[in-house]
Amino acid sequence: MPTLSSVFREEGARTRELFERAKRLALTGSWPEALATLGELEGRLEARRRRLEERVLPLFEIKAGSASELTRTLAQEHGRIEVALKAFGSCLRARGGDDLPACARELQRLLEEHEGRAGRLVFPLLDRLLSDTERRRLLVGGLA
């Protein structure tokens, strides 16, 4: 059975691929394709956020023994990522402009920080604390 950490890394890689594709398409002026990819990225990030906040983080708090600053931080990061994603989307809909590189950098920075924090702290600990049955149940619904 795969670990939560490995599944989280794989899903993060797919999310990064979508983001990179949207940036690449924007840089080549392929605006309709960039916007379609943005839609996929928005859907993936929303699904990940929802599953993390509704399933993974509450389970982490139960297994860790209490609500933690880490889970609050991760939830707050979701809000900042959402704001940066909207800004990136606005830049794409405006067909680039001077703000596109800055919007892309900010979204990339937030995604990397968030993925790093969850990937280093939450998922490895859950891999150690969950039984195989609990891990299987969590994986059935997917992490991303």
CATH code for the domain of 82: 1.20.120
Number of domains in the chain: 1
Is there a domain that residue 84 lies in?
yes
Q: How far is CA 143 from CA 10, 13, 60, 126, in A?
A: 10, 13, 13, 13
SS3 for 144?
coil
Is there a domain that residue 68 lies in?
yes
Q: What's the pLDDT at 143?
A: 55
Q: Taking the model in full, what pTM does it have? A: 0.88
Q: What's the pLDDT at 22?
A: 96
Tell me which residues of the chain have a pLDDT lower than 50: 144
Q: Count Cβ atoms within 10 A of the Cβ of residue 126 and give its class: 0-12 exposed, 13-18 middle, 19 or more buried.
A: buried
Euclidean distance between CA atoms 19 and 22, whole angstroms? 5
Residue 120's domain comprises: 4-130
Is there a domain that residue 141 lies in?
no
